[in-house]
Structure 1
Amino acid sequence: MEFANKEYLLLLLLIIPYIIWYVMYRKKTEPTLRMSDTFAFRYAPKSWKVKLMPLSMLLRLLVFVMIVMVLARPQTRNSWDSKTVEGIDIMLAMDVSTSMLAEDLRPNRIEAAKQVASEFIIGRPNDNIGLAIFAGESFTQCPMTTDHASLLNLLQNVRTDIAARGLIEDGTAIGMGLANAVSRLKDSKAKSKVVILLTDGSNNRGDISPSTAAEIAKSLGIRVYTIGVGTNKVAPYPMPVAGGVQYVNVPVEIDTKTLSEIASITEGDFYRATNTNELRKIYKEIDQLEKSKLNVKTFSKRYEAYQPFALVAVLALLLEILLRVTIFRRIP
């Protein structure tokens, strides 16, 4: 909590002379009775009313303090704030071709990839992370951002049916997917720039070859970590048929040579994941990447917070008046 008018808090210093005045001169205002000898009253107990007499003074002090707090305008501060944190710029390039529906990873390749990628994003709250997807073509699903809630929402909306429905060409354009991710990192000022490229096939589409995209990444100081997902030999694939789905075994054709070459050119690493646990371990290993400084701006808003102080002041004042005209009432 902050105060918009801090200078009013200096009024609280007036409490000191008031307390001194109350202690030194209170007895002069109290009625007295002359007696020849007060020995008989020396050990007489004080009534509860006498013990509560300072309560009026304390309530008046409380009212004064609360009024000063209201004048000082207490606020809960939410505003633009710039801070420096440790982070890294990362683009995820994910294959969304129809072959990602194969169920050698549970529940299938695409859902396993999305789940592990989500865990990776959640574990790196200070990083600029974006998402590019590709099949026979490539486009950016989410540009780099620290708003990971929006990124995770867009990641969960990734489907392989965009190729099946003809929205983009089906196939595996590894070079295009990598080039798209690299284009999002080319203007980054981060010390570490990384692409994590995940695919289950071989490059068979696109106008840019994987090696050309890798050379471009190298020239921009971008490391590429490639991941080939899928079991060895064959994998069960749900083939739509009339009235349902029939599973057929399809060959697993991952171009490990090309993926290794991309990683080698950009000084990254190539990984193979034949199940979800292996994929999770790969992302954990990549998670050990070095961090670099990143400026983050957060937005919030200021809200006036005087209401509780004003309420306490009113209640304390009413209570003090009530006590003064009832329990502590004086007869002239």
Structure 2
Amino acid sequence: MEFANKEYLLLLVLLIPYILWYFIYKKRGEPTLRMSDTNAYRYAPRSWRIKLMNLPMFLRCITFVLVVVILARPQTHTSWGSKTVEGIDIMLAMDVSTSMLAEDLRPNRMEAAKEVAAEFIADRPNDNIGLTIFAGEAFTQCPMTTDHTSLLNMLQTVRTDIAARGLIEDGTAIGMGLANAVSRLKDSKAKSKVVILLTDGSNNRGDLSPMTSANIAKSLGIRVYTIGIGTNKVARYPMPVAGGVQYVNIPVEIDTQVLKDIAATTDGNFYRATNNRELKQIYQDIDQLEKTKMRVKKFSKLYEAYQPFAFLAILALFLEILLRTTLFRRIP
């Protein structure tokens, strides 16, 4: 707590002469009664009224102190300053081609990837994280942000049917997805810049090859962690047919060599996830990435805090007047 008008606190010095006047000079001016002998009253017990005779004066002093505090304008606020937190700039590049509907992970590759990515985001509250999605084309779903609530909401809206509905071309443009993520990191000032690239196929679309994008990432000091998601050999896939869905086995064709080369070129790592547990462990491993320090400014807002003092001042003044005019009333 602090005071906006601290100079008013000097008024509290006036209490000293008042208290001296009350106990020294005011006592002398009170009416007296002469008696020939007071010995009979020497050991007489003092009533509670006599013991509390000075209570109105103390209440008057308390009221004065509280009024002075109110004039000084007490204020509360959160402290100004800055703090250092750990953080890193990360772009998630996620494959949303129709093959991500395969159910070799539960409930399918897409939902499993979204669930684990959401946990990863939630565990890194100080990081700038963005999201790129790609199939036969690539675009930024969410630019890098520390507003992870908005990022998680956008992540949950990611669907694989955007390619099935013709909103973007189907296929797997790994090079384009990586390039889009890299473009979001190229102006970053962070010490550590990372792309986490997740796909279940091999590059078959786009104008940029995966290795061209990898070399661009390397020149910008961006590390790429690649994840190949899906079981080995074949996977159960829901094939839409007239009036329903028919499940078929489709081959798993992940270009692991290209993913390894991308990771090696950019000093990242390649991971293979064949089930939900392995995918979760991969993100936990990546979570151990080097963090870079960032200075965050913390702002404050002032709040007037006179209300409790005003309430107590009114209460003390009311009690003082009540006691002075009833229980401790003096005649004359």
TM-score normalised by length of structure 2: 0.88
Question: What does the per-residue CA deviation read over 1:214-256, in whole Å, with 9 as the maximum and x for residues that have no partner?
Answer: 1000000011111111111112222223333222222111111
Letter in 1 for 2:170: D
For 1:196, the equivalent position in structure 2 comes to 196
| Paired residues of 1:79 and 1:302 also in contact (CA < 8 A) | no
Select the structure of larger CA radius of gyration: 2
Q: Give the deviation of 1:188 after TM superposition.
A: 0.8
Question: What does the per-residue CA deviation read over 1:161-198, in whole Å, with 9 as the maximum and x for residues that have no partner?
Answer: 22122111111111111111111111111111111111
Distance 1:262 1:159 in 2: 26
Q: Rate the CA distance shift 1:214–1:58 in 2: closer, same or farther, 3 A.
A: farther
For 2:181, the equivalent position in structure 1 comes to 181
- Counterpart check, 1:60 vs 2:47: no
Task: Give the unaligned 5+ runs of structure 1.
Answer: none
For 1:114, the equivalent position in structure 2 comes to 114
Distance 1:107 1:36 in 2: 106
Deviates more, 1:15-24 or 1:255-264: 15-24
For 2:157, the equivalent position in structure 1 comes to 157
Secondary structure of the 1:141 match is strand
Secondary structure of the 1:104 match is coil
Distance 1:241 1:20 in 2: 100
Secondary structure of the 1:246 match is strand
For 2:267, the equivalent position in structure 1 comes to 267
Distance 2:29 2:161 in 1: 90
Letter in 2 for 1:148: H
Deviates more, 1:81-90 or 1:142-151: 81-90
Letter in 1 for 2:247: Y
Q: Give the deviation of 1:103 after TM superposition.
A: 1.6
Q: How does 1:34-53 map to 2 (within 5 A)?
A: 41=41, 44-53=44-53
| Paired residues of 1:226 and 1:271 also in contact (CA < 8 A) | yes
Question: What does the per-residue CA deviation read over 1:234-283, in whole Å, with 9 as the maximum and x for residues that have no partner?
Answer: 12222223333222222111111111111000000000111111111111
Secondary structure of the 1:189 match is coil
Distance 2:22 2:236 in 1: 89
Q: How does 1:16-27 map to 2 (within 5 A)?
A: 27=27
Question: What does the per-residue CA deviation read over 1:27-60, in whole Å, with 9 as the maximum and x for residues that have no partner?
Answer: 5566655556656555555433344445434433
Letter in 2 for 1:106: R
Task: Give the unaligned 5+ runs of structure 2.
Answer: none
Secondary structure of the 1:226 match is strand
Q: How does 1:298-309 map to 2 (within 5 A)?
A: 301-309=301-309
Secondary structure of the 2:92 match is strand
Letter in 1 for 2:84: T
| Paired residues of 1:137 and 1:177 also in contact (CA < 8 A) | yes
Q: Rate the CA distance shift 1:220–1:15 in 2: closer, same or farther, 3 A.
A: farther
Distance 1:304 1:203 in 2: 62
Secondary structure of the 2:64 match is helix
Q: How does 1:201-216 map to 2 (within 5 A)?
A: 201-216=201-216
- Counterpart check, 1:245 vs 2:245: yes
Distance 1:279 1:108 in 2: 12
Distance 2:137 2:79 in 1: 41
Distance 1:212 1:139 in 2: 18
For 2:224, the equivalent position in structure 1 comes to 224
Q: Give the deviation of 1:301 after TM superposition.
A: 4.6
Q: Rate the CA distance shift 1:143–1:18 in 2: closer, same or farther, 3 A.
A: farther
Letter in 1 for 2:94: M
Q: Rate the CA distance shift 1:42–1:103 in 2: closer, same or farther, 3 A.
A: farther
Secondary structure of the 1:130 match is strand
